[in-house]
């Protein structure tokens, strides 16, 4: 298998300690060292991130640090991939750790499935560190999230889709994938493994839910066929069921072993989870009432995107 040149784009914001672990794992890949580089975009951090990146770049030519004013992860990712030249761009996040074969497997995917426009891999965690009060990403089978912690695209696909939606702070990865999927497949490649270590969970308040709903509504508006296929036809019912009811029950059941292991901790988790999801169900009708009139004016196409969607 030939080794195509790959650029790995990482957005980072105020996570200096986590970032070092990721960069070390990416520099320790089995992939030929002269066939990839890391583009790490500091999204206006106020900690020691930029100093750490300068230190990395001084001793390792494969690390290219960039800096932007704080604009969010999508803006940082767009700045990163647009600054590069590689035909294949892989994305991950600053709180992850790459398996040593990660780039090799992504390259193998593109070589063996040349019709694919992208590949997303398997994301695992560190089970021994998981508690009811940690957050971690685990994705072991095909799904509709297309998370940017473990995905790669052909550059032309990113150009055609005009990159990530910088107005979305949630669901922007699925929104980009939905756009790319109108032109060709994005395939699941389970041998491309990324580790997402557990970190303390922050339960969402009304402001945080508002941000997530805004992102989901942009997905619903800009990629209606994708949203209908994977979420449902009617926005408020789909969100209430998937995030308010289904996800709540799934999390409560998946952690039920903690009832015997640490009932006080499980009880605390359950109270926080119910309060978090009750807040969503409380603000969702108000959010929908405020947004549905504007959505009524959007004309959608059968290709999966709204006409004039780039002006939303």
Specify whether the CB–CB gap between 163 and 137 falls below 8 A.
Answer: no
pLDDT at 305: 34
| 134-164 as b/e: b if 16+ CB within 10 A | eebbebeeeeebbbbbbbbbbbebbeebebb
Q: Which residues pair with 89 in a beta bridge?
A: 7, 153
pLDDT > 90 fraction of the chain, expressed in percent and rounded: 92
180 — pLDDT class (breaks 50, 70, 90): very high
Mean pLDDT of 26-37: 98
pLDDT at 92: 98
What does the block give as tokens for 79? Answer: 């700045």
Residue found under tokens 């800009």: 222
294 — pLDDT class (breaks 50, 70, 90): low
115: burial class by Cβ within 10 Å (0-12, 13-18, 19+)? exposed
> What pLDDT, in 10s, does the model give residues 195-229?
999 999 999 999 999 999 999 999 999 999 999 99
Report d(CA 45, CA 63) in Å as an integer. Answer: 18
pLDDT > 70? residue 288: yes
- By C-alpha distance, which of 135, 146, 127 is closest to 189? 146
Mean of per-residue pLDDT scores for the chain: 93
44: burial class by Cβ within 10 Å (0-12, 13-18, 19+)? middle
Q: What are the Cα distances from residue 228, in Å, to 149, 304, 308? A: 24, 10, 19
Specify whether the CB–CB gap between 75 and 44 falls below 8 A.
Answer: no
Report d(CA 39, CA 169) in Å as an integer. Answer: 21
> What pLDDT, in 10s, does the model give residues 228-273?
999 999 999 999 999 999 999 999 999 999 999 999 999 999 999 9
Mean pLDDT of 115-129: 98
Report d(CA 280, CA 285) in Å as an integer. Answer: 9
> What pLDDT, in 10s, does the model give residues 50-60?
999 999 999 99
Domains parsed from the chain with CATH numbers: 6-200 (3.90.550.10), 206-298 (no CATH)
Instruction: Point out the least confidently predicted range of 36-45, 121-130, 208-217, 298-307.
Output: 298-307
DSSP three-state, residue 26:
helix
pLDDT at 292: 86
Pure H helices in 162-299 = 172-181, 206-222, 224-230, 235-239, 247-254, 258-261, 263-295
pLDDT > 80? residue 309: no
11 — pLDDT class (breaks 50, 70, 90): very high
Quote the pTM value.
0.92
> What pLDDT, in 10s, does the model give residues 69-110?
999 999 999 999 999 999 999 999 999 999 999 999 999 999
In angstroms and rounded to an integer, the radius of gyration of the C-alpha atoms of the chain is: 20
Report d(CA 220, CA 304) in Å as an integer. Answer: 10
pLDDT at 53: 97
- By C-alpha distance, which of 74, 73, 56 is closest to 64? 56
Mean pLDDT of 170-178: 97
């Amino acid at each position: 298998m030939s080794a195509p040149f790959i650029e790995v784009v990482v957005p980072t914001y105020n996570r200096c300690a986590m970032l070092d672990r990721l960069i070390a794992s990416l520099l320790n890949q089995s992939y030929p060292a002269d066939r990839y580089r890391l583009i790490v975009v500091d999204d206006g951090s106020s900690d020691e991130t930029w100093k750490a990146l300068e230190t990395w770049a001084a001793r390792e030519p494969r690390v290219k640090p960039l800096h932007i004013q704080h604009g969010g992860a999508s803006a940082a990712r767009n700045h990163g991939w647009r600054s590069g030249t590689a035909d294949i761009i892989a994305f991950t996040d600053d709180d992850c750790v790459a398996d040593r074969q990660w780039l090799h497997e992504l390259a193998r995917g593109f070589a063996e499935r040349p019709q694919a426009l992208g590949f997303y891999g398997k994301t695992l965690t560190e089970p021994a560190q998981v508690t009811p009060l940690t957050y971690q990403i685990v994705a072991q089978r095909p799904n509709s999230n297309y998370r940017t912690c473990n995905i790669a695209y052909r550059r032309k696909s990113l150009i055609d889709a005009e990159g990530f939606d910088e107005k979305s702070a949630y669901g922007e990865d699925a929104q980009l994938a939905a756009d790319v999927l109108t032109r060709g497949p994005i395939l699941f490649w389970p041998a491309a493994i990324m580790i997402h270590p557990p970190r303390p969970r922050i339960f969402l308040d009304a402001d945080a839910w508002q941000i997530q709903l805004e992102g989901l509504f942009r997905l619903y508006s800009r990629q209606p066929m994708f949203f209908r296929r994977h979420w449902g036809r009617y926005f408020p019912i789909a969100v209430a069921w998937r995030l308010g009811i289904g996800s709540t029950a799934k999390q409560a059941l998946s952690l039920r072993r903690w009832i015997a292991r640490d009932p006080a901790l499980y009880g605390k988790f359950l109270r926080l989870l119910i309060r978090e999801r009750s807040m969503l169900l409380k603000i969702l009708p108000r959010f929908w009432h405020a947004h549905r009139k504007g959505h009524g004016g959007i004309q959608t196409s059968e290709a999966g995107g709204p006409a004039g969607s780039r002006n939303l």
